[in-house]
Chains A and B, each alone.
Chain A
Amino acid sequence: MKKAGVQHRILMIILMIVLAAVAFPFYWMLLSSFTPRTVLFQPPYKFFRLDLSVENYRDLFFATEFLTYMKNSVIAAIGAILLNVFAATLAGYGLTRFTFWGKKQFAQGTLFSYMFPAMLMAIPLYIILSALQMRNTYTGLILAHMAISLPLNIWIMWQYFQIVPMSLEEAAWVCGAGRLRALREVCLPSAKPGILSVAIFSFALSWNDFTFAFILQTDKNMFTLPIGLATFVEQTAIHWGMVMSSAVLVSLPTFALVFFLQRYLLSGLRVGGS
């Protein structure tokens, strides 16, 4: 009995260390973002501090192009969400409701393209979009972001429509509704959680993307947040407090997704994640 107690206590201590290793970077990011510049560059630091200030956030909003980057990121994400939801929902419906040759190949092709690394597509896309004069445009970036998210989203909707029962649609047909009306009024409402998952993943993958935006958007006015933030640490005197405040703001949507919409995330995480 006593032995078990000691063992339990040791396990608890290890657990605390593990949790600290995962949580500390978040804490330090948050604390640094609220630390005045004069304090931040005077180590050693205290791990708890109350002399907080919003000076870094003020610098971020008024002395950098943060808001421009944010606008670009939001536009790209909205475009990616709309196109992904449209294409993935239709594909999921078609792939579960009809029989035709090539479904296995479609499934394999989708999973295979989900593994394509960004750099492999970004270099040829740079050449192609340059030739079409579509670099530094929202359309080009949104299309590139679809390359990352569409395969996963097709997969999610394919799996999701399998659990939306056919009998519901059949009942609608019996009542005289056509296929389109049955899809719109019966099938789509029951597939809503799947569609929401697709929207969330399209958003997250577009919002998080560095490689595509970095290679395709070379005009400073078209930078998304990750690219803009990367330029903050390329200066000689890095304003770390401001950098941390930008990191906090960029990760806010992630926090929101994890804490409020977690159940929609789990379906997509099963596929493996890049």
Chain B
Amino acid sequence: MADAIDIVGLSHWYGEGAMRRQVLQSIDLQIHAGEVVLLTGPSGCGKTTLLTLVGALRQVQAGQVRVLGQELGGSSRSVRQQLRRNIGMIFQGHNLLRCLTAEQNVQMGSDLLPGLSYRARRDQAREWLRAVGLGDHLGKLPHDLSGGQKQRVAIARALAAHPRLMLADEPTAALDKQTGREVVELLRRLARDQNCAVLMVTHDPRILDVADRLVQMEDGRLTASSLALQAG
């Protein structure tokens, strides 16, 4: 099976001239389709930078980054934009569109699918909201949802575009222990059903056991990679 992510010798710098600072130092990382990988490490070690590079949100400076078969080194803006349609992203803040209902927010994801009628895309959006347990909250605005519910809408939105890779940046940061755990397990289950790879950045030690693999990072280097215990 083709790798979802294949990174060889990736380095990245911020700033110019004397201010230039290296944040990633020759990183090698492979993630297979359907694999759930957790990335941990102290803050400021470059996790988020790695995520934005893999998510085709930043230009690769040095090294090879192949995501879903697309080489990102020297790629054009439109290539990256097209690739992003196949990558689901979940953020620390939920980043839902405030003016849209839960259902409409999710449909912004399914609207990216080509060749489907409006009704089909709306039905898919509803289906995903039911899958994340929000079938009763279709018409609510983000304002009226709790933190955990919002994060679940965000997951539904990311999945609605049928991604083959999910990137999540501390999805549990704003949630309490119980809710955070539920959200992450939901994410893992749904991603696995779709045969979708997941790369999740987290500080949260309580959710490490959901991963197939743990990757640790320090000062821009990957320090350890271990097979996690199989979650129950």
Interaction A to B:
no
Q: Give the B-binding residues of A (Cβ under 8 A).
A: none
Q: Give the A-binding residues of B (Cβ under 8 A).
A: none
